[in-house]
Amino acid sequence: MCKTFPKDFLWGGATAANQCEGAWNEDGKGESTADHMTAGSLTAPRITTRGINPNYYYPSHTAIDLYHHYKEDIALFGEMGFKSYRMSIGWSRIFPNGDDAAANRKGLDFYRSLFEECRKYGIEPVVTLSHYELPYHLAREYGGWVNRKLIDFFAKYCEVVFKEFKGLVKYWLTFNEINVLTMPFGVAMAGGVMGDEEEVAFSIGDLSKIKDEPQMRYQALHHQFVASARAVLLAHEIDPENKVGCMIAGMAAYPYTCNPDDILAAQKRMAEGNYLCGDVQVRGEYPAFSRRLFKKLGVELQFTEGDKALLKQGHVDFYSFSYYASGCVSTDAEVLKAGGNMMMGAKNPYLEASEWGWTIDAKGLRYYLNEIYGRYGVPLMVVENGLGANDTVEPDGAIHDPYRIAYLKEHVIQMAEAIEDGVELLGYTMWGCIDLISASTGEMKKRYGFIYVDKDNDGEGTLARSRKDSFHWYKKVIASNGADLD
Ligand code: BG6
């Protein structure tokens, strides 16, 4: 395989603040919504608690303690030859309550130092402004993103970080996987709508128990669209060098059969799952099909004057997305269900699944890249992709992860194919480049990293970092710009 990626292709890795930083209440950081989520597993739910219950374990509180290890971790990224590092800023590290008058200097200093460290190794930061968390106070006192006031709080936070990190950061992503708000479970996770109960259980293995409130989640989504557009305009105004992307959970949906009903259902899934958000954020307007969808769901969006123009002006510069798995859409109720990355679908008989039931489909990445580029014609970036697996540490300390290398290799090959197809691809940041807390289950043992972190599901371990076989493999991939995949 000797296909060539663009010369300045942004090879790298990705993490999110609440899944790796720890130091949840240090140096003035406020509580975030993620700090209220306990650990679970594929079968046991994560529980969101109103207070912090001393009998529970909350993995974000310590995570892999990147807050105190970032120099060591970035040095390892540098050793692999990373050209980019996608990470997120914990909003509550900058504005502890979200509605504070002034920003927390220590929070800004931490990220400044982290970005400077990246620059030392020639690593370009790609910064997510909101990755599945918001200051807890905004969730509790304002009701989360259902409340329009959050747009102003978010804009203020963005303005502060754009000014502070001008010249250090050029690539920004607004909301991580914004399209999860098109699904019932998204309202809590991405919308910060917590409800009044003392405890709420959330299980990726059983999404059927989640109460759906379409009006709430689409209104929250609309507010995030407007907030994202405001962020784009601010970013461009503060530094014309800034490039801002949307971030969408890539849901490649295949029809299960050639039954026209399945074809139409899959087309609908692609549209409602991906294009609704893509159209608003890239084209600056709601797609025609949204009218029928909202009517069916009884959703009446509260638009204010100015929203329409703002969405149009604040369209993003590029489209970034996560891609883990594809799903099949069937109109036959009997067809077996298989879990995907936060989406359900029928089991694809041609594909294998990961230990956590996520269908492995590298060609789906090529399919998705072509679909999206064909629709929007803007540069794309794959900002998450990877395999969550249970790794074993050998007696000599080695970690052999051929399954991860095989997964990544196939996805890199399909990215190269898509580039050959004509897709403009800016970069690839593999998810969880260093082991971190799983977002869906709160586990530590669902590992994605090139770098192993000695910590278990109960929070025990030395936090020592070590290189897996895939570390050395990825180093070669980057050094050869995607030519050497063996
Ligand atoms: C994406 C999220 O959905 O998938 C990440 O943006 C998440 O935050 C990743 O960690 C992998 O999912 P999980 O549940 O295996 O951590």
Q: What confidence score (pLDDT) does residue 357 get?
A: 86
CA of 425 to the centre of ligand 1 (A): 22
Nearest CA to ligand 1 atom 7: 439
Q: Which atom of ligand 1 is nearest to the CA of 441?
A: 14
Pocket mutation for ligand 1, best pick of 189, 204, 382, 384 (most atoms within 8 Å of C-beta): 384
Q: For residue 177, indicate whether it is catalytic.
A: yes
Residue 187: pLDDT band with limits 50, 70, 90:
confident
Mutation test residue for ligand 1: of 341, 360, 448, the one with most atoms within 8 Å of CB: 341
User: In this structure, which residue's CA is closest to atom 10 in ligand 1?
Assistant: 439
pLDDT, position 202: 78
Nearest to 385 by CA among 331, 341, 327: 341
Rounded to whole angstroms, what are the CA distances from 86 to 12, 131, 177, 351, 440? 8, 11, 14, 29, 19
20 CA distance to ligand 1 middle (Å): 12
Q: How far is CA 273 from CA 106, 140, 359, 435, in A?
A: 38, 28, 18, 28
Atom 8 of ligand 1: nearest residue by CA position: 439
Nearest residue (by CA) to ligand 1, atom 15, is 438
Q: What pLDDT sits at residue 336? A: 55
- Is the confidence at residue 189, as pLDDT, over 90? no
The alpha-carbon radius of gyration of the chain (Å, integer) is 21
**Residue 232 reports pLDDT greater than 50:** yes
For a mutational test of ligand 1's pocket, the pick from 86, 431, 436, 437, i.e. the residue with the most ligand atoms closer than 8 A to its C-beta, is 431
Q: Can you tell me which atom of ligand 1 is nearest the CA of 342?
A: 3
Atom of ligand 1 nearest to the CA of 180: 3
Report the pLDDT averaged over residues 224-240: 98
pTM score over 0.95: yes
Confidence of residue 347 (pLDDT cuts 50, 70, 90): confident
Strands 451-453 and 337-339: unpaired
> Of 133, 177, 272, 443, which is the active-site residue?
177
pLDDT band at 1 (very low <50, low <70, confident <90, very high): very low
Cα(286)–Cα(371) distance, integer angstroms? 18
> What is the 438 CA–ligand 1 centroid distance (Å)?
6
Closest ligand 1 atom to 438 CA: 16
Q: Residue 16 CA: which ligand 1 atom is closest?
A: 8
- Confirm if 277 and 178 have CB atoms less than 8 A apart: yes
Residue 184's pLDDT band (cuts 50, 70, 90): confident
pLDDT band at 341 (very low <50, low <70, confident <90, very high): very low
Contact 320, 173 (CB under 8 A): yes
Q: Is 241 or 43 the better-scoring residue by pLDDT? A: 241
| Closest ligand 1 atom, residue 439 Cα | 16
Question: Exactly one of 21, 117, 272, 384 is catalytic; which is it?
Answer: 384
Q: How far is CA 313 from CA 9, 128, 171, 306, 372, in A?
A: 28, 21, 19, 11, 21
Please give the distance, rounded to the nearest whole angstrom, from the Cα atom of residue 431 to the centre of ligand 1: 8
Rounded to a whole number of angstroms, the distance between the first and last alpha carbons of the chain is 9
CA distance 13 to 408: 12
For ligand 1, atom 5, name the residue with the nearest CA.
Answer: 439
Distance of CA 437 from the midpoint of ligand 1 (Å): 9
Q: Residues enclosing ligand 1, CB less than 6 A? A: 16, 19, 132, 176-177, 249, 322, 341-342, 384, 388, 431, 438-441, 446
DSSP 89-117: --HHHHSSSSS-SS--HHHHHHHHHHHHH
Cα of 368 to ligand 1 centre, how many Å? 18
Confidence of residue 339 (pLDDT cuts 50, 70, 90): very low
pLDDT at 208: 67
Asked if 287 contacts 279 with a C-beta cutoff of 8 angstroms, the reply is yes
Question: Could you tell me the pLDDT band of residue 3, with boundaries at 50, 70 and 90?
Answer: low
Q: C-alpha angle with apex 70: 69 to 74, nearest 5 degrees?
A: 125
Q: Measure 439 CA to ligand 1 centroid, in angstroms.
A: 5
Determine the Cα–Cα distance for residues 486 and 436; give it in Å rounded to an integer: 26
What is the pLDDT, as a whole number, of residue 4? 79
> What is the arithmetic mean of pLDDT over 371-384?
98
Ligand 1 atom at minimum distance from 440 CA? 14
Beta-bridge partner residues of 179: none
Q: How far is the CA of 440 from the centre of ligand 1 (A)?
A: 6
Mutate which of 189, 342, 440, 457 for ligand 1? The one with the most ligand atoms within 8 Å of its CB, which is 440
pLDDT value of residue 220: 98
Asked about 384 being catalytic, the answer comes back as yes
Could you tell me what percent of the chain has a pLDDT over 70?
96
Amino acid at 91: W
Question: How many A from CA of 436 to the centre of ligand 1?
Answer: 10
pLDDT at 344 over 70: no
pLDDT tens digits, 45-75: 899 999 999 999 999 999 999 999 999 999 9
HEC-encoded secondary structure of 19-39: HHCCCCCCCCCCCEHHHHECC
